[in-house]
Structure 1
């Protein structure tokens, strides 16, 4: 495919300060980026935090995607420019039906502006979801007790499960706009990276937990089951995920397809816990039967401790409840199956991005320290 040059590709990243947004903005801003050079707009509900380099964006737009009028007012000014929409935004509610409503509304409001504009230039939408596609609504208070997930390794041809899932709703909604536009779906695993605005960034949640343990002189105990301690799991580096988004956005064979996105290796939490203990300078302890505990409940009482840690170390001002959702981490630490996804389809289609998960954890821990998000 012959790629066009000099800002013929204009990106709008929805959710630029959370999840994969920081890494995606960084990737798109590089001179050698596939399909580049890109012009990059980023958006979020709030202004850019001080740790986010404004040089990565042509312009940052603040608006509430749940508000149709606010969305229209802010995006109509640039709707004629945007060729690629990168959808990274997500909001979580108490149950899956509410998740469906809130996330579909946000996506609908944005696409309504970009596609219905008489001068619309939109070509492609990348949609970030995850392995809940294969497991069902694992955080729903009622449905989570009824789920029968697919047998791993998860692969993209597996049929949908018979449960409500906002990932399914978003996929169908984007697909309904074809052939006017094309799309790609990116199903990540447990995500690690650097951001204060991602409730499901496992890296930041565990880093904060380790900081509390260090501050109080407590051992860094694994908050899951023996099964997950000993069996294989995989994860997704923010950088690999961003790379896959860009690849699919400008590669013809990837159009209207869904792809798993993991680092391409597997690990046991037993091994990873040693890496994290070393990296966070906390006492490593082996998993012990009968010493299980609820990390969500434990961390819910540590808000004031985190405030002390932030103040003592001169960190970027965050509140513990804002930088992680430990309720979302709990199921991943207690799966009764190996949480592993196949990357065969991505490789067959030509995407070969990868990361060493242990090195990835060390790299992002250093990045979080450089950004003054953790001590």
Structure 2
């Protein structure tokens, strides 16, 4: 692509990956740069957000077709790349399909409506539900048979509704006028109070509550996940892969897994979290029944006290954690590992050391005054 005046639109800019995008695109070394960076979010920017790195912030409910068209259509002659990291979550997968498809369609329709549209590439971030199915839909989850690990991009789709499939189909319908790339993450680690599935922040809040109240920091999963291999996706690696794909011809119209490229057991993660928060390591004992969701459900006031005592950015525990979803995921009896071979074969070699990146992100959350 000859064009050097690239204008990025990050949809979902205040989430973990949105924040990482904002920082990565404004680096002098950013691939394809220099970039002009616009960010979309439903709410005003939080005080911890690096707003000086955004050329324009757009507050917009992308579910609202009229509002999206009025705000986005005039920008269609400027925006060259869309980085889609937005998410709406409902326990019904059919509702997820409706909400997320509406958001993506509204934005793409507005940005391609003008004959002067400059939009050339869209990256879509999805995840391993591609291979697991709708694990959070109570009407479907018991029927699911996940693909074998390590998960490979060209596995056929599962025969269950999945909003990831719907979004991929929307993108391919635009393939005559623009290119796209699909990026399937594992559990994401990054720094934000505005991400729906925030594994790291959920575990950090849990650790701080246990430390504050002198409770044992017990593992909320099962013995299988404690002992077997898993992977994660550092937000910085996800962003690096998406920027790479957006300016690399070979990567156009392809789907890529995106993880850190290493594996771990949750036993290893638990030791890192104990060291990071100064809590005692408690070996997992399957005989001890522990209901994670029930244990945390009345701890909102404890969290309020921690926030107040330490002068932290004001958050409500219920809004920044996902105890129920995390508890379900950690009880899966599968090795949750993605193959990164395709990504490497196409020329992307980004990686992160998961056990090192967790304390780095906790430190970042402390600097942002989200954690103590």
Say whether the fold is shared (TM-score over 0.5): yes
Task: Indicate yes or no: 2:256 matched with 1:259.
Answer: yes
Which residue of 277, 293, 297 maps to 2:294? 297
**Contact 2:73–2:113 at 8 Å: present in 1 too?**
no
What is the DSSP-based 3-state SS (H/G/I as helix, E as strand, rest coil) of the residue aligned with 1:162?
coil
Which residue of 55, 60, 65 maps to 1:58? 55
What is the DSSP-based 3-state SS (H/G/I as helix, E as strand, rest coil) of the residue aligned with 2:112?
helix
**Contact 1:139–1:327 at 8 Å: present in 2 too?**
no
How far apart are 1:296 and its partner, in Å? 2.3
Describe the shift of the 1:3–1:315 C-alpha distance in structure 2 as closer, same or farther (beyond 3 A).
farther
Match of 1:288 in 2: 285
Task: Indicate yes or no: 2:49 matched with 1:71.
Answer: no
Q: Distance in 2 between matches of 1:9 and 1:299?
A: 45
TM-score (norm 2): 0.98
Structure 1 residues without counterparts, runs of 5 or longer = none
Structure 2 residues without counterparts, runs of 5 or longer = none
1:219-257 deviation per Cα after TM superposition (whole angstroms, max 9, x unaligned) = 110000000000010000010001011000000010000
What is the DSSP-based 3-state SS (H/G/I as helix, E as strand, rest coil) of the residue aligned with 1:40?
strand
How far apart are 1:22 and its partner, in Å? 0.3
TM-score (norm 1): 0.97
Task: Indicate yes or no: 2:29 matched with 1:32.
Answer: yes
Q: Distance in 1 between matches of 2:342 and 2:289?
A: 37
How far apart are 1:141 and its partner, in Å? 0.8
Task: Indicate yes or no: 2:199 matched with 1:202.
Answer: yes
How many aligned positions are there? 372
How far apart are 1:297 and its partner, in Å? 2.6
**Contact 1:263–1:356 at 8 Å: present in 2 too?**
yes
1:261-290 deviation per Cα after TM superposition (whole angstroms, max 9, x unaligned) = 000000001111000111012221000122
How far apart are 1:298 and its partner, in Å? 2.1
Q: Distance in 1 between matches of 2:163 and 2:98?
A: 8
How far apart are 1:49 and its partner, in Å? 0.5
**Contact 1:3–1:35 at 8 Å: present in 2 too?**
no
Q: Distance in 2 between matches of 1:171 and 1:292?
A: 41
Describe the shift of the 1:211–1:182 C-alpha distance in structure 2 as closer, same or farther (beyond 3 A).
same
Cα root mean square deviation, aligned: 1.0
Which residue of 229, 232, 245 maps to 1:232? 229
